[in-house]
Structure 1
Amino acid sequence: MSDKTALPVGAEAIRDKGYWLAYRFLILRRLSQSFFLSLFLLGPWFGIWWVKGNLSGSLTFNVLPLTDPFISLQSIVAGHWPEMTALIGALIVGAVYALIGGRVYCSWVCPINPVTDAASWLHRKLDLPKGWQPKRGTKYFMLAMVLGVSVLTGTVAWEFVNPISMLHRGLIFGVGFAWALVIGVFLFDLVLARRGWCGHLCPVGAFYGLLGGKSLLRVSALERAACDDCMDCFAVCPEMQVITPALRGKDADSPLILSPDCTNCGRCIDVCSVNVFHFTHRFDETPAPGRVRDRTNPAPKVGKAA
């Protein structure tokens, strides 16, 4: 195992690239999440109604309708066909995420992402045990269960317990049950299951992953030959299993991360001091240079705790 795995996560990137390049996508994501959340809070807080609604459904400048396609799908299976405005909004949002990457929603828009990222950071700092890890397919079971409950009850079932909506209500109405659910997600990831909520259970993430399964935006480990086995990319990736095929693949294997689980968060690009990763598109067929390893120091099979 490389001696560099003993260094703090991201230390080499800060040293070699500077603070901005070592954190640029994380900073841009926080700005993006804050921007979208602020748009919805301008009305309730300051009376500036540029956007009415929330991430489930909104109207911008009284012209542009946007609807969460997952909400629309629940409404349809519950037996309530959405109004044309809501349906158009769902088609717009669905088309955008199908094109750029479904789980971009999870890392660049969803306000619960900073909550789970904070839990992951604290989990790493406290060096807590990995904890219970549900199977990766559990989120698809959760997705099917939510749709099934919507069919049986005739309601948009997920909205009763959706942490995203709860966080929005908590910010508007103050202390209440909504915050208890958000805190519960934080404690679940911190104590019970490392990266458990977004990676293993959230049906919203499962839906957007399926929606963007063939999307254009991808991360590529094009310079994998330069990898120095520091393992920082595995430590910060919320879906670390997606990295291995691209980074550790044979010379003939594509360096593209094609898994729908990838959130395109860009943290692997941030923390890599030797610039192995970069954003590209799914049709990028540029071959990755072959990797020459030191046989006395083979690649490790596991990474730093995320």
Structure 2
Amino acid sequence: MSDKTHLPVGAEAIRDKGWFNAHRYLILRRVSQTFFLSLFLLGPWFGIWWVKGNLSGSMTFDILPLTDPFITLQGLAAGHWPELTALIGALIVGVAYALIGGRVYCSWVCPINPVTDAASWLHRKLDLPKGWQPKRNTRYFMLGMVIAVSALTGTIAWEFVNPISMLHRGLIFGMGFAWAFVIGVFLFDLILARRGWCGHLCPVGAFYGLLGQKSVLRITADKREACDDCMDCFAVCPEMHVITPALRGTDEDTPLILSPDCTNCGRCIDVCSVDVFHFTHRFDETPAPGRVRTRSNPAPKVGKAA
């Protein structure tokens, strides 16, 4: 492990690349999240109804229907056959995320992501213990349970407790009980389980991860031979287990991060001072020199809180 692990996360990248380039994708994600949320708030706040609805289902310019396919799946499980426009909207959204990467939704669109990112940042600053860590497969259990409850109750069950919808309602109708769900997610990630909500529990992320298993957009560690073991990429990655196969592989292993758990957030690219990571596509066959690790010389463990 490098002696540089004692430095603050991203300090080397800021020094070598400048502050903006060390936060480039983080800034773009915040712009993207703000943009999508603003589209839905233009109507209720300013009477500009370019988009009617919310992230669960919307109509843009009275022409383009967009429907969350997870909502559609719950509706079908509940025994409700959606209207044609809703089905078309679900197909459009589903195909888009299947191609570009299902969990891109989590890092580039979902308005809860800044909440969980803020909790993670504060968790790291306060140097809090890792806390309870549910198994990552728990989110798939949650996904199955949501579908089962929808089928048993005849309702779109997740919408009763969905913090994404609660945040939207809170922004439109003001402070109220809806904010308790958002604050609960923040405190859960801060105190109980580091990156617990998005990384272990959220059924929406689980669904989009399954949807984007064969997606085209990928991140590659094609310059992995330059890695200096600073561990910053592991510290900022919301799904740090996806990095190891690409970064610590042998010459025969692909440098592509192929796990559907990857959110394509780009933070590993931001904080890497030696530019190990880049965006690419899943068909990229560019060879990358491996950093051979054997059982007697394993990859170093994470030395920072993520």
Task: With the length of structure 2 as denominator, give the TM-score of the two structures.
Answer: 0.97
Q: CA deviation at 1:291?
A: 3.3
Q: Measure, in 2, the Cα distance between the counterparts of 1:279 and 1:26.
A: 14
2:190 corresponds to 1:190: yes
Matched, 1:68 2:37: no
Question: Residue in 1 aligned with 2:164?
Answer: 164
Counterpart amino acid of 2:105?
Answer: Y
Contact 2:249 / 2:292 at 8 angstroms: preserved in 1? no
Aligned to 1:270: 270
Q: Which amino acid aligns with 2:16?
A: D
Unmatched tracts of structure 1, length 5 or more: none
* Map 1:133-172 → 2, pairs under 5 A: 133-172=133-172
Matches within 5 A, 1:1-306: 1-291=1-291, 299-306=299-306
How far is 1:300 from its partner?
Answer: 2.0
How big is the shift at 1:303?
A: 3.2
AA matched with 2:230: C
Q: 1:80 to 1:292 in 2, by over 3 A?
A: closer
4+ residue runs over 3 A deviation: 290-293
Letter in 1 for 2:156: V
Which string of whole-angstrom CA distances, capped at 9 and with x for unpartnered residues, describes residues 23-63 of structure 1?
00000000000000000000000000000000000000000
- Contact conserved, 1:142 with 1:203, CA < 8 A, in 2? yes
The structural deviation recorded for 1:71 is 0.2
Asked whether the 8 Å contact 2:248–2:290 carries over to 1, the reply is no
Shift of 1:299: 5.0
Query: Structure 1, residues 70-125: CA drift from partner, whole Å, max 9, x if none?
Result: 00000011100100000000000000000000000000000000000000000000
Q: Letter of the aligned partner of 1:150 in structure 2?
A: S
* Conserved? CA contact 1:98–1:215, under 8 Å: yes
Contact 1:135 1:200 in 2 (8 A): yes
Whole-Å Cα distance in 1 between the matches of residues 54 and 291 of structure 2? 48
Distance 1:108 1:214 in 2: 19
Partner Cα separation in structure 2 for residue 302 and residue 91 of structure 1 = 40
Write the letter of the residue equivalent to 1:205: G
Task: Using the TM superposition, give the Cα deviation of residue 302 of structure 1 relative to its aligned residue in structure 2, in angstroms.
Answer: 2.3
**Corresponding letter in the other structure for 2:87:** L
CA contact (8 A) 2:251 2:292 kept: no
What is the DSSP-based 3-state SS (H/G/I as helix, E as strand, rest coil) of the residue aligned with 2:21? Answer: helix
Identity of aligned residues (%): 87
What is the TM-score normalised by the length of structure 1?
A: 0.97
SS in structure 2 at match of 1:185: helix
Equivalent pairs counted in the alignment come to: 303
Give the whole-Å Cα distance in 2 for the aligned partners of 1:83 and 1:291.
53
Q: Distance in 2 between matches of 1:114 and 1:301?
A: 27
Q: Secondary structure at the match of 1:20?
A: coil
- Give the conservation status (yes or no) of the 8 Å contact 1:226–1:291: no
Tell me, which stretches of 5 or more residues in structure 2 are unaligned?
none
SS of 2:279 mapped into structure 1: strand
**2:48 & 2:234 partners in 1: Cα distance?**
42
Contact 2:167 2:182 in 1 (8 A): yes
Contact 2:249–2:290, Cα closer than 8 Å, also in 1: no
Aligned-partner SS, 1:19 = coil
Q: Is the 8 A contact 2:235 2:302 kept in 1?
A: no
Structure 1 residue identity aligned to 2:201: L
- Do the aligned residues in 2 keep the contact of 1:229 with 1:299 (CA within 8 Å)? no
